[in-house]
Amino acid sequence: MSLDAKKLGFIGTGKMGSALINGICNAGLFSPSNVYASDLYEPSLDALKQNAGVNVSTDNKVTVVNSDVIVLAVKPQILRKVIASIKDDITEDKLIISIAAGVKLEAIEDELKEGTRVVRVMPNIAATVAEAASAISTGRNASVDDADDVLAIFGSVGSSLIVPEHLMDAVTGLSGSGPAFIFPVIEAMADGGVFEGLDRNSAIVLAAQTVLGAAKMVLETNTHPGQLKDMVTSPGGTTIRGVRVLEECGVRAAFMKAVIESSDRSKELAK
């Protein structure tokens, strides 16, 4: 069965769940009439119904029964409780996708019926603007076709790739948490522009576009970031003065520590 003939369900419509639903619907991979979403928080359901036109319910079983692919978009702390409430309705023809940070495939599979196909994904909030970075690991019962389907679903809202599950905590710390590390950078760069006389709106636009353009250069030129930095830092110029300040302030070390600390927290959640 091709994806356009399948129905997609989301259990959990918080920030990440809603971002994915809106992004996937905007990408046109699924018709909104083939997307189901459930949550206890009715305002988020109402917003999805109005903005995306998907089917909504406060009953998770409605989502499970009507969907071929089911995304578990709930917090790690309540994942087991949610699975327990729906596992009797999960038949062998359904594919389960978990985006719960830190929860291993084996832990999910052990809560479900033997043979259930499970895939674990770590996306990020940039799915809202179809620029998510999503890493995918497949469970013991998932097929190559399942992996391809999940790659297509999350590829519709950005970039998706397969990684071994033992690296999923690193992914969580890097790309899962990463947007929150970059937003303060954009704000700080804009603050510098404001200090030098730019109006706030212009400074934010220039800072954000600079980050976007730099990222695009890395991805599209397949050139090491260090080489790209050297292309901009001419001898005795303005850029190398700024780079020296970043080095003096330990910016690179701070970013490394942030990723490592977030990865460590992901490992803690798995215990």
- Go through the domains of the chain in sequence order and give each one's CATH number: 3-168 (3.40.50.720), 178-269 (1.10.3730.10)
86 pLDDT higher than 90: yes
Considering the entire predicted model, what is its pTM? 0.89
At residue 1, the pLDDT reads: 53
pLDDT for residue 268: 86
DSSP 8-state class, residue 70: E
What is the C-alpha separation between 10 and 222, in angstroms, rounded? 35
Rounded CA gap, 244 and 37, in Å? 49
Of the chain, the end-to-end C-alpha distance in Å amounts to: 37
Task: Give the containing element (helix H, strand E) for 145.
Answer: helix 144-155
Share of the chain above pLDDT 90, in %: 90
